[in-house]
């Protein structure tokens, strides 16, 4: 699989489709670039899709694993990639945590963005749990200790589940993504390293509107990770925004979007 080397960091990616237009795609937490393979039937004739493994996922490697990934560093890496492939204008798609990467490019390189596809994106409305995990102080140290000694975390999770403080789907997600030391380390490093990929909602809306970037937002009606009600206002504030609600939860949303786009293509 091809990769980009930027200051000793590696961003691996796969090429999907063979269309004239270019789409950079970023997956969600716990996934890798292969999750975009279903997009080939939907978009592969119109786009050449460069689907990246996010850092700490797939084969991608961040040189300083315990240091924050800055917007400047990410943008420089992507600019290097664009230059190597002689790419001028391009579109971006981001699912869940990959939304932070997509939004960074839209914010930093708006003049080069043709379309923005956001699928239950993180970054616009940050969750309460993410804020706790990345907040400086004792809570951050607690999450760090959880990597090696998870019993305390799972005990708290059982209490939250018993009193329905968090939805059962979030509990299932936590168990599936934190049942080994390797997985817990990925959770911690992703939370900490990507914490600077945050956005001023008002400024982001102004940027997208000023550059007249078409934005399509796909959300899951039953999504408990990125709830639709959190993002309605954002889409409504866009002059060129479209909101699509699908009857699914968070984990299957990327596949559902691929199937929807394929059906739309078949009807044309």
pLDDT given at position 132: 52
pLDDT in tens, the chain (268 residues): 899 999 999 999 999 999 999 999 999 988 999 999 999 999 999 999 999 999 999 999 998 776 789 999 999 999 999 999 999 999 999 999 999 999 999 999 999 999 999 999 998 875 555 555 545 555 566 667 777 777 877 787 788 778 777 767 667 777 776 778 888 888 888 878 898 999 999 999 999 999 999 999 999 999 888 888 889 999 999 999 999 999 999 989 999 999 999 998 887 6
Residue with tokens 């059962």: 168
DSSP of the chain = --EEEETTEEEEEEEE---SEEEEEE--TT--GGGGTTHHHHHTTTEEEEEEPPTTSTT-B-SSTTSPPPHHHHHHHHHHHHHHTT--SEEEEEETTHHHHHHHHHHH-GGGEEEEEEES-SSSS--HHHHHHHSTTHHHHHHHHHHH-THHHHHHHHHHHHTTSS-HHHHHHHHHHSSSHHHHHHHHHHHHHTTT----HHHHHHHHHHTT--EEEEEETT-SSS-GGGTHHHHHT-TTEEEEEESS-STTHHHHHHHHHHHHHHH-
HSE toward the beta carbon, residue 107, CA cutoff 13 A: 22
Which numeric CATH code is attached to 3-126+199-267? 3.40.50.1820
pLDDT given at position 172: 74
| CA nearest neighbour of 194 among 54, 3, 30 | 54
Show me where the domains of the chain are located.
Answer: 3-126+199-267, 128-191
| CA nearest neighbour of 61 among 132, 21, 7 | 7
State the Cα torsion 153-127-58-262 to the nearest 10°.
130
pLDDT given at position 176: 74
pLDDT given at position 169: 67
Contact (CB, 8 A) for 123 and 198: yes
| CA nearest neighbour of 36 among 19, 21, 23, 55 | 23
């Amino acid at each position: 699989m091809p990769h980009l080397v930027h200051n000793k960091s590696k961003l691996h990616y796969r090429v999907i489709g063979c269309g004239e237009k270019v789409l950079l795609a970023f997956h969600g937490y716990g996934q890798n670039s292969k999750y975009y393979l279903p997009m080939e039937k939907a978009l592969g004739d119109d786009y050449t899709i460069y689907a990246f493994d996010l850092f700490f996922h797939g084969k991608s490697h961040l040189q300083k694993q315990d240091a924050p990934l800055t917007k400047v560093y990410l943008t420089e890496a992507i600019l290097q990639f664009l230059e190597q492939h002689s790419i001028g204008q391009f579109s971006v798609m981001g699912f869940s945590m990959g939304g932070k990467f997509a939004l960074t490019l839209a914010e930093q390189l708006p003049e080069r963005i043709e379309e923005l596809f956001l699928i239950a994106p993180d970054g616009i409305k940050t969750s309460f749990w993410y804020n706790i995990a990345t907040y400086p102080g004792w809570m951050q140290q607690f999450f760090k200790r959880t990597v090696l000694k998870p019993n305390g975390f799972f005990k708290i999770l059982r209490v939250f589940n018993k009193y329905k403080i968090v939805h059962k789907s979030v509990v299932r997600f936590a168990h599936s993504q934190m049942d080994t030391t390797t997985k817990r380390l990925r959770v911690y490093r992703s939370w900490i390293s990507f914490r600077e990929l945050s956005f001023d909602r008002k400024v982001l809306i102004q940027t997208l509107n000023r550059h007249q970037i078409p934005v399509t937002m796909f959300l899951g009606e039953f999504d408990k990770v990125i709830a639709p009600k959190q993002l309605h206002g954002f889409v409504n504030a866009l002059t060129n925004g479209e909101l699509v609600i699908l009857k699914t939860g968070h984990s299957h949303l990327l596949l559902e979007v691929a199937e929807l786009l394929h059906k739309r293509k078949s009807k044309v």
